[in-house]
Structure 1
Amino acid sequence: MRRERDQELWQKIRFGVEIEFVGGVLEEIELLPGWMLSLEERQIDDTGEESGSELKPPPIVWDDREQIRVMLARLRAAGARANWNCGLHVHVSLERWGEEAIPRFIEAAMRYQEALQRLLETGEDRRVFCPPVTPEIRERYLAAPGEASLLRRGRPQSHRCGINLAAWYDIGTAEIRYANGSLDEDEALRAVELCLRFVAAVGEGRSLPREPLELAAELGAPLGGYPKPIAAPRWYRERMWLENALVPVLTPEARRLVPGGEILQLLPAPDGILAVIEDEDGRPSKHLFRLPAAGWELARSLPN
């Protein structure tokens, strides 16, 4: 009986899904009413170029899922695909429970996040985009409830946890970021169903198993068939190794140029290292650095 009640609940909860993709002729993609392409959200394709976009529906419920099938088919017809850089982020409404439930969701995140990540097989190269909720985050939130307490310190792409509860203060949702990218309808819908069932169970205060398959079985969610991880090419991994090594070196320069700023990205350029720095409000700026014998030198700042 409990499971039947939960199934009815998860089917009623409003949700959205961010579908990241590369390639495709965007002008050929006919959008259903309310759907949108976030053209500023570009992904990295296999050549290293920015490509594709992020497709999002308006808030929908499970009975509206045919819209997802239609739009994924249109993406494929336009030549789009998912690669190692793409994710499938599911936003599930928390309006039924409200802000007072956030501490319960924090505890649930710490308890079940590893099981969700393993169940969804989050690709190794995507894990930087979905770090764990930590006891430090819990203590910060209990001391000062709000969005800032739920965001991680450090580089911008790691601000939002794999179970991103800061999204409550932005759009009233919990965002689950672990699923790999996919334009396959069945894979995508299985991931959505898992996230809906999980949020419904946590919202109702259920205690769940911590092993992946046991968790899925208790939730009544699919045991498998989720989007598979895709390994990043060697050149991308090498670029990330170099970027991670240079970030601590260039951070003092970045904060001199942009007070409170954090390095989002470092890219090799023909005449130096291109740094993209985000300010405290998330606005990016671009700056070119050179490394002469005496230390780093700002060559010039670039227009966005």
Structure 2
Amino acid sequence: MRPSLADWIELRFGVEIEFVGGCPEGVALLPGWIMSLDERQIDDTGAESGSELKPPPIQWADRGQIREMLARLRETGACVNWNCGLHVHVGLEPWGQQAIPRFIEAALLYQDAMRELLNTGEARLPFCPPFTREMYDRFVAAPGSDALCRKGRPQSHRCGINLAAWYDIGTVEIRYANGSLDYDEAINTVELCLRFVAAIGAGRRLSSDPRRLAIELGAPVGGYPPPKLAPQWYRERMWLEDALVPILAPLARSLVPDGEILYILPRPEGILAAIEDADGRLFKHLLRPTSAGWEAVRPLQERS
């Protein structure tokens, strides 16, 4: 497919705004906006908190809606922490499915530059893993969403430049930005993503240096959401998970066919393992160590 030009300000986009605190249920929403009350974040105490707010597909001319909704969130006491992200979905309507290989190649070429430009926080990195050459080869051999799914916790199919989103909602999702309720930081991020997608759609070759990339795109070279350091207890939890997940993975697969451990949490009677199956359903099991190894005690909860 030949590259085609599209004005970045005409592209449709959405932005997922993750936050903690506040009163998600009490926020008055503009028409079409959605508060995903089941999408909770982790606050500084380790409790589930906040939510995820997102607009309907909008264009650059509609960006005032983002300013208004961010103000409404802040009025309820909402804020962001190290666990929150700002994910931008950009519609690929001008190019369609035939352009997906071009965007995959762009992910391989520019994902490091985009991650560095957006200064992704350490705690956010597991939620935006890199696209790999092996994934590209799988797609060439058998095009489809399965080839774009990266195995491994915590969110296997969502790379930093997530092209699996095309098969879900017709977009590419760029997940590198840290969370923010500041309008300027949020809109700078949106502008960068729109300009980047338009440039790739047009077949442009860009610099892999972060600053040069921004300049070539005409996007801001700074002013993006800054990273926030996760508390010590959370980093220790991640270190423990990294050590335990390979040990518990065989047991998890025996409990949930093709299951992957998304996270583990300590419980007084053992370890809670949240295991996702191939269809994205989440199963929670209580596990405990014995002298002969780990065993499953009982299922705790199932969530689709």
The TM-score range, normalised by the shorter chain, is over 0.9
Q: Are residue 303 (structure 1) and residue 301 (structure 2) matched?
A: yes
Question: Does structure 2 retain, via aligned residues, the 8 Å contact 1:128–1:158?
Answer: no
Question: Does structure 2 retain, via aligned residues, the 8 Å contact 1:43–1:86?
Answer: yes
Shift of 1:155: 2.1
* Residue identity matched to 1:135: R
TM-score, normalized by length of structure 2? 0.96
More helix by share: 1
Q: What is the match of residue 293 of structure 1?
A: 291
Shift of 1:282: 0.6
Question: Higher mean Cα deviation, 251-260 or 175-184?
Answer: 251-260
Using the alignment, how far apart are the partners of 1:301 and 1:261 within structure 2?
14
Q: Aligned match of 1:88 in 86, 89, 104?
A: 86
| Aligned sequence identity (%) | 69
Q: Are residue 194 (structure 1) and residue 161 (structure 2) matched?
A: no
Question: Does structure 1 retain, via aligned residues, the 8 Å contact 2:100–2:163?
Answer: yes
Q: What is the match of residue 181 of structure 1?
A: 179
After TM superposition, which residue ranges in structure 1, 4 or more long, deviate above 4 angstroms?
none
Q: Cα deviation per residue 1:21-79 (whole Å; 9 max; x = unaligned)?
A: 01111232101000001111111000000111110000000000000000000001011
For the aligned residue pairs, the C-alpha RMSD in angstroms reads 1.2
Q: Aligned match of 1:210 in 208, 211, 218?
A: 208
Q: Are residue 117 (structure 1) and residue 115 (structure 2) matched?
A: yes
Q: What is the match of residue 229 of structure 1?
A: 227
Q: What is the match of residue 266 of structure 1?
A: 264
* Pairing 1:7-46 to 2, within 5 Å after superposition: 9-46=7-44
* Pairing 1:125-144 to 2, within 5 Å after superposition: 125-144=123-142
* Residue identity matched to 1:51: S
* Residue identity matched to 1:133: F
Q: Cα deviation per residue 1:205-263 (whole Å; 9 max; x = unaligned)?
A: 01111111111111110110000000100000000000111111111111111111111
Using the alignment, how far apart are the partners of 2:254 and 2:156 within structure 1?
22
Structure 2: any 5+ residue segments left out of the alignment?
none
The number of residue pairs the alignment matches comes to: 299
Question: Does structure 1 retain, via aligned residues, the 8 Å contact 2:25–2:37?
Answer: no
TM-score, normalized by length of structure 1? 0.96
Shift of 1:158: 3.6
* Residue identity matched to 1:64: D
* Residue identity matched to 2:28: E
Q: What is the match of residue 283 of structure 1?
A: 281
Q: Aligned match of 1:107 in 102, 105, 108?
A: 105
Q: Cα deviation per residue 1:266-296 (whole Å; 9 max; x = unaligned)?
A: 0001111001111111111111111122211
Q: Cα deviation per residue 1:75-124 (whole Å; 9 max; x = unaligned)?
A: 01011111000000000000110111011111111111111111100001
Structure 1: any 5+ residue segments left out of the alignment?
none
